[in-house]
Structure 1
Amino acid sequence: MPRQTAPRPTVAQLTYGSCTVILSTLAMLLLSQTDSGPGVALIALVGLVLGLLVAMTVPRHRPARTASQIVASSAAPAVVAPAPRERVPVQASSAQQD
């Protein structure tokens, strides 16, 4: 029985997550102006959690569609425009000729 592996993160997920960790941690440290060890540790932990959330919400790359999928989607019924109406000339009534 083949062993199932977890899907690996994409380059975009790693990049967005890493940038979020660095920038959010730096911003929180600058805004809070904390100098205690537990405060810095808490801010670093929050930055890591934010980075994980961002990395997991970045959409994954979908595999390319196969030729059969493309043909199946293009085989959908086409919308047919209604046929144009025939134009019938209006005949002058006998009341107007008198």
Structure 2
Amino acid sequence: MSGRIVIVGYQPKPGKENELDALTRRHYGLLKDAGLVTDRIPIIMKAKNGTIIEVFEWKSKAAIEQAHTHPVVLKLWEEYAAVCDYVPVGGLEEISNLFSEFSPFE
């Protein structure tokens, strides 16, 4: 089975930027510990409007499906829902540029 690389946008809710940053720092490690993602290190960046963009690799389509019932992942998604909204990265201003430029996530 081949991995599945995904790009996701997390737009922080007002006043929740620091909490979203902290959660994003834990995200990959939790998925890795659960055996759902590959060893490929994620790329994480920020758009001008504060949206965090993360590019990471699930182990497989089956791993994505497994995430939907995994207790650690379900708790993680609850935490994300409290601090951000998922947004399509295609709506970010930077995406319309030929070379889409973002700030590194620190």
Question: Is the structural similarity TM-score above 0.5?
Answer: no
More helix by share: 1
Bigger RCO of structures 1 and 2 (CA < 8 A, at least 6 apart): 2
**TM-score, normalisation: structure 1:** 0.30
More strand by share: 2
**TM-score, normalisation: structure 2:** 0.29
